[in-house]
A and B are shown apart, each in its own frame.
Chain A
Amino acid sequence: MNKFLVTASVSLALIALSSCTNKSVVRYGDATEVETTNINFGSTDLQKVASQMTDSLLLSPVVGTLTVNTRPILFVESIKNKTSEHIDTESITDSISTKLLRSGKFRFVDMGRVAAVREQLEFQQNSGMVDASKAMAFGQQVGAQYMLYGNLASIVKSNKDKSDVYYKFTLRLMDLKSGLIEWADETEIRKSKEKEFVSW
């Protein structure tokens, strides 16, 4: 009888404990800290890819000669997502173009905002609210000379002990006039995760 009471109360106490041990805490962290929450494409991968690519592009001798006396105008086409994850590849190109702009060697046109620009110019030209002599005119923008584009591919494998994912990011710079690829580079990332042996 006593034994039964003890086991019953112990198990009840355990259940009660397990339901109230979790307390949520909000903290600020380092944005560049290595993140390994799970095996999927994460912030560390994005940062690694973006910084390696920009370093490689800026240090390349070809680009050195391209940027001797001018600041070439680039446009970012897109990074094609060929992985099996839903990855915001625009975020990768944003990081890369921001870093390149910060270097002061390149200038960019943004194809993603063409519609907004058109709307604004139409407002300036046609709404009657803007001083006509100071309104921006159509047809005075500068065209891009180079196109930046790339691929993000992955190979995923797993068995009962571990899972492994390999990412390959390729970036290319094309001269729009000649169609030649002036520069290309790739970064690889390999992540693997061994399964825990025991968990709840």
Chain B
Amino acid sequence: MHNFFHKTRLLLLVIPLLSGCSANSFSDLFSHYSQQMNGVKQAQQQGNFQQAISLLPTRSPDNGNYSLGLLEKARLEYLAQNNKQSRQDFAQTYELVQQNQQAAKIELSRGIENIAAVMSNDNAIRYDIPLYEQSMLNSYQALNYLAQQDLSGALVEVRRANQVQERALKANASSIDATKKSIADEKFSMDNLSQQYPSMNSAIGKVKNGFQNAYTFYLSGLLYEAGNQKNDAYIDYKKALEIYPDNHYLQQDVWRLANTLQMTNDINLFRDSFARTITNKNTFASNNTQGEVVIIIENGIVGAKQEVSLSLPIYTRHNDMRLYSVALPRYQNKLTVYPPLTLTYQGKSYQAEEIVRLQSLAAKQLQDQLPIIVTRQITRLIAKEEIRQTLVKKGGDLGNIFANIYNIATEKADTRSWSTLPDSIHILRLNLSTGTHTLNIKINGVSQAIEVSINQNKQTLITLNTIGTHVGHNIFNL
């Protein structure tokens, strides 16, 4: 008995020590991130962005969730139209991402985080910003620069976003192979998991990978066009089209630029695949009294990760199979349907079309990460089982109870993600004659009139945020 208290004291000492040198604070270890964000998201849903910012938990720079907290704050500042503050926060996050990329191959602090994660849960590991979130970071940063009429700064962000997407494409193939191999080494088969783990297929939809973000490509195409770099714009529009081949506005832009740049091969290809209404348009008739209006509509808030408990059969070191309960993160297997924005102009009505579904990207990202998460989970189970057995040996029933309490308390899925992002983004693009126009838009049952000025051969960008009943907009003359 006396001995048991020594052991437990050791364990009690180890836990705060681990959380002390690991990246995360105590509360992050024992509560769900998605729960911590509930209040913030509620305020965001009601359009109270300042209140949402004040509800964000404050974290110190050595906290593993610091960069994630900055992302949430920067996004809310962006919504509250504090572009300057938002720009600073995004810039700081970008710097952290850069540092992370150029860090040493073996970081001892990460090793300690991993040990802490084996003793407690994945929340002890510092948050690595996934690639689709990085591309959104750069996209928002580009809009922040635009808000200060700094097109060249916005173009820098666009190039950074493209670097992210390129790097992702390269890294993707090799990492998937690696995780499959590591799963094969474990005494556990992925089939068991896929039988029990709730499907996310409806949430993922048609998304092919968790990082290729057509919206980022589209925004960069638009900004390149504004900077009179038509060829760069064409390439990015085409990349966006590869991801969303049915989007008519994308087809229209690709067709228009293919003709302007005289891409004969592409023109022949697209003539067959595009709708007649697009290819029949006389693209050369773009006279000098016209400009364009581009509307980017952000819908809703991306769903949070939830915890799901599964019983997985695991082989312990004595080769006997036991069922263990594990907590894994998941996304809800459904997508919210957003009625597209309708714009009425001179008796004709136009509908916005989807350019990215962030919920699907998030779900796909999680699905790709799952093998790694499960591998860590198994290591953790084995470690916790060892602790339990030791405590049973030393402390009998009391030890068993103590170990079980500890295991239940620490069994928390990692539900961290950038959760103030929009759910889906739509676009709409229209040629208008130069001068001032009043556009009547209808979204979420709310009608609104927006006044825009169109400059000759230039683009006017309107960004709309629709969250709940809140509809806010910004106008940029590019």
* Interface, chain A (partner B; CB < 8 A): 1, 4, 8, 11, 15, 38-39, 80-86, 156, 158, 160-161, 163, 193, 195-200
Contact of A195 with B156 in the complex, beta carbons under 8 Å: no
Contact of A196 with B105 in the complex, beta carbons under 8 Å: yes
Chain B interface size range: 20 to 34
Interface 1/0s, chain B 142-173, versus A by CB < 8 A? Answer: 00000000001101100110010001000000
Which residues of chain A come closer than 8 Å to B101, judged between CB atoms? 158, 163
Which residues of chain A come closer than 8 Å to B105, judged between CB atoms? 160-161, 195-198
Contact of A4 with B109 in the complex, beta carbons under 8 Å: no
Query: 26 interchain pairs (CB within 8 A)?
Result: A8-B13, A11-B17, A15-B17, A39-B102, A80-B152, A81-B152, A81-B155, A83-B156, A83-B159, A84-B156, A84-B163, A86-B153, A86-B156, A158-B167, A163-B102, A193-B102, A195-B102, A195-B104, A196-B103, A197-B104, A198-B104, A198-B107, A198-B108, A199-B103, A199-B107, A200-B108
Which residues of chain B come closer than 8 Å to A196, judged between CB atoms? 103-105
Q: How far is the CB of B470 from chain A (nearest CB, A)?
A: 31
Contact of B153 with A200 in the complex, beta carbons under 8 Å: no
Cα–Cα, bound, A192→B155 (Å): 24
Q: How far is the CB of B180 from chain A (nearest CB, A)?
A: 19
Contact of B107 with A4 in the complex, beta carbons under 8 Å: no
Which residues of chain A come closer than 8 Å to B103, judged between CB atoms? 195-196, 199
Name B174's closest neighbour in chain A (CB-CB).
A160
The winner among B6, B13, B102, B108 for most chain A CB atoms within 10 A is B102
Contact of B104 with A15 in the complex, beta carbons under 8 Å: no
Cα–Cα, bound, A15→B160 (Å): 38
Q: How far is the CB of A91 from chain B (nearest CB, A)?
A: 14
Contact of B10 with A84 in the complex, beta carbons under 8 Å: no
Which residues of chain B come closer than 8 Å to A1, judged between CB atoms? 6
B468 within 8 A of A: no
Which residues of chain B come closer than 8 Å to A15, judged between CB atoms? 17, 20-21
Which residues of chain A come closer than 8 Å to B1, judged between CB atoms? none
The main secondary structure of chain B at its interface with chain A is helix
Which residues of chain A come closer than 8 Å to B167, judged between CB atoms? 158
Cα–Cα, bound, A101→B45 (Å): 58
Contact of A156 with B163 in the complex, beta carbons under 8 Å: yes
Cα–Cα, bound, A199→B102 (Å): 11
B106 within 8 A of A: yes
Cα–Cα, bound, A163→B107 (Å): 18
Cα–Cα, bound, A199→B110 (Å): 10
Contact of A4 with B10 in the complex, beta carbons under 8 Å: yes
- Interface positions of B from 94 to 120, Cβ below 8 Å from A: 101-109
Q: How far is the CB of A28 from chain B (nearest CB, A)?
A: 26
Cα–Cα, bound, A38→B95 (Å): 12
Q: How far is the CB of A34 from chain B (nearest CB, A)?
A: 19
Which residues of chain A come closer than 8 Å to B159, judged between CB atoms? 82-84
Cα–Cα, bound, A199→B160 (Å): 27
Contact of A200 with B109 in the complex, beta carbons under 8 Å: yes
Contact of A84 with B160 in the complex, beta carbons under 8 Å: yes
Cα–Cα, bound, A86→B151 (Å): 12
Which residues of chain B come closer than 8 Å to A11, judged between CB atoms? 17
Name B229's closest neighbour in chain A (CB-CB).
A82
Cα–Cα, bound, A141→B103 (Å): 55
Given contacts A81-B156, A160-B105, 6 further A-B contacts (CB under 8 A): A1-B6, A81-B155, A82-B159, A84-B156, A196-B103, A198-B104
Cα–Cα, bound, A146→B78 (Å): 43
Which residues of chain A come closer than 8 Å to B152, judged between CB atoms? 80-81
Which residues of chain A come closer than 8 Å to B109, judged between CB atoms? 200
Which residues of chain B come closer than 8 Å to A160, judged between CB atoms? 105
Partner of A197, one of B6, B17, B106, B160: B106
Q: How far is the CB of B62 from chain A (nearest CB, A)?
A: 11
Which residues of chain A come closer than 8 Å to B160, judged between CB atoms? 84
Name B20's closest neighbour in chain A (CB-CB).
A15
Cα–Cα, bound, A4→B442 (Å): 70
Q: How far is the CB of B102 from chain A (nearest CB, A)?
A: 6
Which residues of chain B come closer than 8 Å to A4, judged between CB atoms? 6, 10
- Interface positions of B from 121 to 143, Cβ below 8 Å from A: none
Interface 1/0s, chain B 8-46, versus A by CB < 8 A? Answer: 001001000100110000000000000000000000000
Q: How far is the CB of B93 from chain A (nearest CB, A)?
A: 15
Name B160's closest neighbour in chain A (CB-CB).
A84
Cα–Cα, bound, A158→B97 (Å): 14
Q: How far is the CB of B454 from chain A (nearest CB, A)?
A: 26
Cα–Cα, bound, A39→B163 (Å): 16
Q: How far is the CB of B109 from chain A (nearest CB, A)?
A: 6
Q: How far is the CB of B339 from chain A (nearest CB, A)?
A: 38
Cα–Cα, bound, A195→B102 (Å): 6
Cα–Cα, bound, A198→B155 (Å): 35
Q: How far is the CB of A115 from chain B (nearest CB, A)?
A: 16
Q: How far is the CB of A73 from chain B (nearest CB, A)?
A: 27
Contact of A38 with B102 in the complex, beta carbons under 8 Å: yes
Which residues of chain A come closer than 8 Å to B13, judged between CB atoms? 8
Cα–Cα, bound, A160→B102 (Å): 9
Cα–Cα, bound, A39→B103 (Å): 12
Which residues of chain B come closer than 8 Å to A80, judged between CB atoms? 152
Cα–Cα, bound, A8→B159 (Å): 50
Contact of B108 with A85 in the complex, beta carbons under 8 Å: no
Cα–Cα, bound, A15→B6 (Å): 22
Name B158's closest neighbour in chain A (CB-CB).
A84
Which residues of chain B come closer than 8 Å to A82, judged between CB atoms? 155, 159
